[in-house]
Chain A
Amino acid sequence: MDLVLSILLGVVVAATPLAFAAIGELVTERSGVLNLGVEGMMIIGAIAAFAATYGTGSYIIGSLAGALAGAAMGALFGVLTLSLMSNQVATGLALTLFGLGLSALIGQSYSGVSLPRFPQVHIPILTDIPFVGPLLFGQDGLVYLSIALVAGVSWFLASTRAGLILRAAGENHDAAHAIGYPVIGIRYLAVMFGGACAGLGGAYLSLVQTPLWVENMSAGRGWIALALVVFASWKPTRVLGGAYLFGGVAILQLHSQALGLRVDPQILSMLPYLATIVVLVVISRDRMTMTLNAPACLGRAFHASS
């Protein structure tokens, strides 16, 4: 029972950064923008959160700093792709390369520093229930925030007027523009929201998952988050399910020995990446459903000619 509990707790820790990054990218993509720079925004969020928490001692300020730094990176992406109409694929790659370099540069003075344990929620009686208590009522605040965020995005996209306008910009930007909606402005907000979420995901990595700063610590999670959005067919609630599924795969290597698996750890570490490929293949196989689910204007630049 203890093993099962620790595995499940591990899944939550592994899934939360993915959930943050993927739900942000989902909003970005629903507005019609493909931002491949999730990895770069995540790692910048990680170092910003770490530095701010180390400097102020406050995890709240740290998490906010991570979100703000991610949003700033998102805004940078927006300036390039939305205002200057650069190629979205290339710019996303540039954002990742730049983010990895800049985070390593800033992080140099923080290597070897560690933070105290991230505070966890403790509700008397509820958290003390065996097994279910720590799982449901004893997580850290960011876990609950990630779930609330997914629920919020789900409600926003499906049931609010603003969400409908955002989806319109992603499905048919010319029509949205003709009706009078500011397509570029909507996309700026969506990209910055995506950046803030990726930044929070990065903050979770450097504050909770390993409370240390390690160069390149995002280790491809931003890219996995991108695959998760495809996996989820651009539907918010499925993002959460996908994130927990991937969290489960990722945690397998930590517990492989306890589970009696005799496989080399390096081979096991390949699992999340291989799983991503398998999932992509399974989801993309049917081209028709993919085309129907993906926002019609995804990745297409918009320029209102006067």
Chain B
Amino acid sequence: MFKLVPRREPNAPMLYATPFIAVALTLIAGFGLFTILGKDPVQAMGLIFIKPLASYNSLAELLVKGAPLILIGVGLSIGFRAGVWNIGAEGQFTIGAICGGSVALGFYPGGGFWLLPLMALAGALGGMAWAAIPALLRTKFHANEILVSLMLTYVATLLLGFLVHGALRDPDGFNFPESRLFQDDALLPKLLPGSRANIGFLVALFAAAAAYVYLERLMLGFQARVLGQAPRAARFAGYSERRIVWSSFMISGGLAGLAGLFEAAGPVGQLVPSLPVGYGFTAIIVAFLGRLHPVGVVFAGMLMALTYIGGETAQIEMSLPSATTGVFQGMLLFFLLASDVLVNFRIVRAGKPLAPASAPAAARLTPAA
């Protein structure tokens, strides 16, 4: 049998290799999954992973779906680095869409060049306000931020439903629970002609670059990394946990709110109850797959967008259930977390004596064993 021996420090090549190992394992498992479902695995995999790359329209869709995933994933990765678990990005996304969308509807049918920046501001502030609740409850009352932010996601979805059934309902909409279609000035400019891709993608790339600077060059970003890796060291160094928790929630909440507004003002063009489609949860996978690094998050976001679009194609052409995408994403995260063992441990055949260099250290740590 084999056994695991802890590495003295995380293995850097493995850190970058594991996302690829995880993707490879997911592809293999996907092959098995499609075979069990009685579908041609080669055709299905081609539809999901290759076909979306072969047409202009689906490449543009890649940017549409990638933008919110990258925006949210970048924000979450900053918090996750600090051990601050904002799991409620989906709720902050929804509130951002409500706040920014309300601005557009409030000025309906008026507008001007100033309308979109104002909406974006309202969206980001909305997301930040929603994220402020778990931040406040954690810093003031030590309430678990995972549970609080998650509960607020359900509340946000219900709030959106409540508003589009009432206050924000389209007055000429035959009582459908939807808002008006936004006026032209409230819609995001297109990035690629003839497609749905909008400038949200550029904002996402900019956010990733800014997050890189924040984590690598600014003090607060450094403190966040220390708190996540060595909470005791952070405490001895006098870093304020309160400030780090707040900044993590404000950044991730603001970006999620912005992503929500971009969804409403971009591909959807109005407020509908089905606006939150799970980007906030998928972005958690994106953040981990991107190794909590802004550059990695950009690539991971694009890969996840690919599974969304490929999943839709496969759904139409092979009548595969839409949930297939969710299963793929879940498997990917599993394999990634499982292969992370290679980063922190060496696999050694049991019975083989330990390498001389590590033996005294191991013995010193556990004299009883």
Contacts and interface: CB of A to CB of B under 8 A. Distances in A.
Interface stretch (A116-124, A134-142, A203-211, A262-270): A262-270
B143 A281 contact: yes
Contacts of B288: 90
Given A108-B321, A274-B151, A305-B369, A86 B338 contact: yes
**Majority DSSP secondary structure for residues of B touching A:** helix
A151 interface: no
Interface stretch (A60-68, A165-173, A222-230): A222-230
B326 to A, nearest CB: 3
A85 B339 CA distance: 10
Interface residues of A, number: 52
Contacts of A97: 281-282, 284-285, 326, 329-330, 333
A306 B137 contact: no
Nearest to A39: B150
A280 B144 contact: yes
A9 interface: no
B143 A94 contact: no
B218 interface: no
A80 B162 contact: no
Interface string A217-237: 001100110110010000000
Contact of B354 (A103, A177, A280, A306): A306
A223 B337 contact: no
A105 interface: yes
Given A94-B333, A98-B330, A285 B151 contact: no
Contacts of A227: 144, 147, 151
Given A178-B369, A305-B6, A305-B366, A91 B330 contact: no
A284 B144 contact: yes
A287 interface: yes
Interface string A71-110: 0000010011000111101110110011111111100100
A178 B369 CA distance: 7
A85 B369 contact: no
Given A86-B340, A89-B146, A284-B142, A100 B326 contact: yes
Max count, chain A CB within 10 A of own CB: residue among B142, B162, B362? B142
Contacts of B158: 266-267, 269-270
Interface string B155-185: 1001101100110000000000000000000
B323 interface: yes
B274 to A, nearest CB: 13
Contacts of B334: 76, 80, 91, 94, 98
Contact of B368 (A99, A108, A178): A178
A224 B148 CA distance: 10
Contacts of B118: none
Contacts of A103: 323
Given A84-B341, A305-B365, A104 B323 contact: yes
B148 A101 contact: no
A181 interface: no
Contact of B329 (A101, A273, A285, A303): A101
A102 B326 CA distance: 7
A273 B150 CA distance: 9
B344 A281 contact: no
Interface residues of B, number: 56
A304 interface: yes
A192 interface: no
A276 interface: yes
A36 interface: yes
A144 B275 CA distance: 41
A87 B155 contact: no
Given A267-B158, A273-B155, A303 B6 contact: yes
Contacts of A76: 334
Contacts of B285: 94, 97
Interface in B73-92: 85, 87
Contacts of A91: 334, 337
Contacts of B324: 101, 105
A224 B281 CA distance: 18
B323 A93 contact: no
B146 A86 contact: no
Contacts of A220: 150-151, 154
Contacts of B333: 90, 93-94, 97-98
Given A90-B333, A178-B368, A267-B158, A85 B151 contact: no
Given A36-B146, A97-B333, A284 B141 contact: yes
Given A98-B331, A277-B151, 20 more contacts: A84-B338, A85-B344, A86-B340, A87-B337, A94-B330, A98-B327, A98-B333, A98-B334, A100-B326, A101-B326, A101-B328, A103-B323, A223-B147, A223-B150, A230-B147, A264-B162, A267-B158, A270-B154, A280-B143, A284-B142
The 4 A-B residue pairs with the shortest CB-CB distance in the complex, in nearest-first order: A101-B326, A98-B330, A104-B323, A86-B337
11 contacts: A93-B87, A93-B284, A94-B334, A100-B326, A178-B368, A215-B323, A220-B150, A227-B144, A273-B151, A280-B144, A306-B366
Interface of A: 36, 76, 79-80, 84-87, 89-91, 93-94, 97-105, 108, 177-178, 215, 219-220, 223-224, 226-227, 230, 264, 266-267, 269-270, 273-274, 276-277, 280-281, 284-285, 287, 290, 303-306
